[in-house]
Structure formats: C-alpha cells, structure tokens
Amino acid sequence: MNIRNRLTLLFFVLVAVILLMASLLIYVFSADYREDEFYNRLQSKANNTAKLLIDVDEVDIDLLRKIEKDNPVSLPDERIIVYDFHNETLFSTDEDSTIHVDTDLLNRIRLEENVRYRQGEYEVLGFLFKGRYDRFVVVAAAIDIYGFNKLRNLRVILLIVFSISIIVVSVSGWVFAGNALKPISKVVRQVDEISITSLNLRVDEGNGKDEIAQLAHTFNSMLKRLETSFIIQKNFIANASHELRTPLTAITGQLEVALLNSRSNEDYEKTLRSVLDDIKNLNALSNRLLLLAQTSDGEKKGSVALLRIDELLWQTREELIKRDPAYHIRIDLDENLDDETKLTIEGDEQLIKTVLSNVMENGCKYSEDHTLEIQVNYADTWLCLIFKDHGIGIPEKDLENIFQPFYRAGNTQHIKGHGIGLSVVKGIVSLYNGTVDINSSVGQGTTLTICFPFRQNN
C-alpha cells in the first residue's frame, strides 16, 4: 500500500472512531434523558390522579374516570391503577388489564417506594402514595410514542451525518494526502530524469525550509559531489591519455626520422638513447598512474613495517642528488627528537619513499637555486616533516587545486612535469591517516608540511 493510501486510511479510521464515539454518546444521553423525562411526567400525572381520588372528597371513582377519559394532559395509551393496603384495586383506567400487576410487585413497590420497569412497549412506574390516613400503591403506565419517535429520528440523523462525514473525510483525506505528498512525487519525478549524462540537473528545493526541501538539498549536494567526481574521472582519463600520448608521439617521430635515410652508428645510438629516455619517462609515468589509482581508493596500504623517517630522508636525498647533482638538500632534526622511537612511523617503505622523493624533487625542481630545507619536528601526537624552498611558488588561484591529478600551476610551463606527484603524495599520506598542507607565495617559495600521527605503541 502506498503512503497516500495509508495516510487516507489512517485519517478515515481516526475520524470514523471519533465520530462513532461522539454519535454513541449523543444517542445514549438522549435516550437516558427521554426515559427520565417520561417517567417524571408519568409520575406527576399519576400523582395528580391519585391526589384527586384520595385527597379530594368531592371526587369519587366515577367522576375521576370521567375526568380521566378525555383528559387532554393524559399520556399516550395511559393506564393508572390505584391499590389500597389490601391490594384491592381502588381505581383503574386499565380496563382490558394490559398491565400485569401481582402481589410480589405491589410488595416490592411498598418496600422500595419507587419501581420502574418495562412491559413490552409500555413503561411502567409503581410508587407509594401516602394519603391522609393510609398508604396506597399507584401503578402508572404509558407508551412514549413521541419520545421514541424523536429517538428514531435522532438515530437516522446521526447515521446520515456519520455517513456523509465519512465520505467527506475519505475524499478530503485522499486530496490532503495527495497534496502533502506532491512535493515528494515531484522530487521523485525530477530524480528520475537525472541520468549519468545529465548530472548537472538539480532537484527543485521549494521553499528551502521544510523536510522535503532538506531532502532535496541533501540530494542536490550528493549530486554535486557525484558530478564533481565524475568530471574528475573524465578529466583524469583524458589527461592520462594525453600524458601517455606525448612521449609515444615523440618516440614514433624519432624512429620515423631515423628510418627515413640510412645513418651512421653514432646517429642511431643517439636516437636510441633519446628513445630510451622517453621510454623510461613513460615507464615512470605509468608507474605513478598505477600508484595513484591504487592509493586514491584507500585500499593499497602495502606492507606495514616500522620505518625510521630520518633514514628514509637521507636515503632519498642520496638518490636524488645522484640523479641530479645540482640539488642541495639540507635535513634538520628537531633537538627534542632524541629518542629514536619518536622518529619511527608505520608504513610501507616504498610508498613513504615515493612521498619523500616527490616532495623533495618538487622543492628542488621549482627553485632556481635547487635548494630545499627539511625540518623534522615532533609535536604533540604528530611527527611532522616541513619541506621549505625559496623557489617560484604557487599562484594563489592554483593552490586549492594543486592536489588534483594532472593539475599544474600556471607558472610552470617551462619546467617538466605531469602534475601527478602531489596527488600521489596526498593519497599515500591519507592511507596512513596523515595530513598534507601547503603554503606558498609566488616568487617567495613554498612550504609543504606532512604530518604522520603518533604511533600508538611508542
């Protein structure tokens, strides 16, 4: 059952129960009131008759019968019987003995003084009438034709009101539920229209205040994140193929030129060396791409070992300087780092070395003096490595995207690079719950800080 039907049913049941209870109460109170009022009228009429008979000397039985016969204040089908203390009938308008009165009843009336009961359609009342010298039992009965008619009318009215109300409530409940759910149906319809090719579409957020608007807003935020990651992925593929194509085109070009004419061994060797360089570059690039793919989903953690960060720094420094002797790298350890456990982190040696080498190479590569200072600090629960250079810096507008794959700052056209290194760094450091921060200003230099969390079992 859908929500609209369920709401309508709930509404229907609630109102039906309330109406039913209200109708029942009205009916029961009315029936009660009718009965009380009728017995009171019957008693006062019978009392008057008994008074005339017993207390007024001038009125005898015959005269009273005459009076009673056409009495306009008599109740419908009224019967009055008066018994003396011998249980003998003193006076009776019940000529055909419709009302059955026996000695038990008379004794009960004498005992309880007032007895009410029903005999078929008749409502019968028995009470004790105290005369001047004696006590009499008066039994009066009548049919409350008007009262019952009124009650029947009330029943019909209540039934009609109940039925009409239920129909109105069902229809209005259905409309109301439909209206209340309209925004949700709208959201569902709009969401239905969004496909992978139309991730730029958004759901209408309506008044922006109610729960549906919040739902739409949350959904829109999710769409935005999806769209961004979809664009990043699309760009990633385009950028990756572009980066791979460039060296491949260079290799093809060089080989084609070499094959155009026959050449000297020296020329062939030169071409082969250049091609080898390009292939090495290509290899490094594809390795980085693979690493980026593996680290970006947070799954590859490599083998976890205890690593001395200072040793890794020195090793990486050596390797870099061997590759490019123009690089100057200074490593400065905080004097608080007297304890070697404070310099130990948990991680995969190759991955951590990749981080250090990417960052160290950047520092040297993007500075004219190819000089980088590294400070190792131990703060609170973090072991932080601060890489500081006085190079070209990164323009402010590029800083927020600098960790995106293939993103390169505008001022680096003349320096070789693919824009993957920093995203690999970020991916690997995040694997070990570390943080990467970058501060830079153009012409002044760049400071990149990497912090690894304190090892729990230190």
Which residues make Cβ contacts (< 8 Å) with residue 374, sequence separation at least 6?
313, 329, 330, 331, 332, 360, 385, 386, 387, 388
Residue 434 makes contact with ligand ADP by CB under 6 A: no
Query: Is 355:428 a contact under the CB 8 Å cutoff?
Result: yes
Which one among 356, 384, 385, 422 touches ligand ADP, defined by CB under 6 A? Answer: 422
Q: Applying CB under 6 A, which part among 77-85, 180-188, 340-348, 414-422 lies near ligand ADP?
A: 414-422
- Site size toward ligand ADP (CB under 6 A) is 20
Query: For ligand ADP, which is the closer residue by CB, 343 or 392?
Result: 392
Residues from 310 through 369 that contact ligand ADP (CB under 6 A):
358, 362-363, 366
Q: Note whether 288 binds ligand ADP by CB under 6 A.
A: no
> Does 385 engage in binding with ligand ADP (CB under 6 A)?
no
Joined tokens for residue 182: 């309209």
- Give how far Cα 255 sits from Cα of 154, 265, 267, 273, 275, Å: 107, 14, 11, 11, 8
Distance CA 288, CA 324 (A): 20
Among 131, 302, 417, 453, binds ligand ADP (CB under 6 A): 417
| From candidates 109, 409, 428, 436, binder to ligand ADP by CB under 6 A | 409
| Region 98-117 residues binding ligand ADP, contact defined as CB under 6 A | none
Q: By CB under 6 A, tell whether 412 contacts ligand ADP.
A: yes
Residue 447 beta carbon to ligand ADP: minimum distance, rounded to whole angstroms: 9
- Binding piece for ligand ADP, criterion CB under 6 A, among 18-26, 321-329, 374-382, 404-412: 404-412
CB of 263 to ligand ADP, least distance (A): 34
Please identify, among the stretches 20-28, 54-62, 220-228, 412-420, the one whose residues bind ligand ADP according to the rule CB under 6 A. 412-420
The whole-angstrom separation of Cα 398 and Cα 313 is: 28
| Nearest alpha carbon to residue 317 among 302, 15, 325, 207 | 325
By CB under 6 A, name the one of 419, 435, 439, 454 that touches ligand ADP: 419
- Would you tell me which residues interact with ligand ADP (CB under 6 A)? 358, 362-363, 366, 389, 391-394, 402, 408-409, 412, 417-422, 446
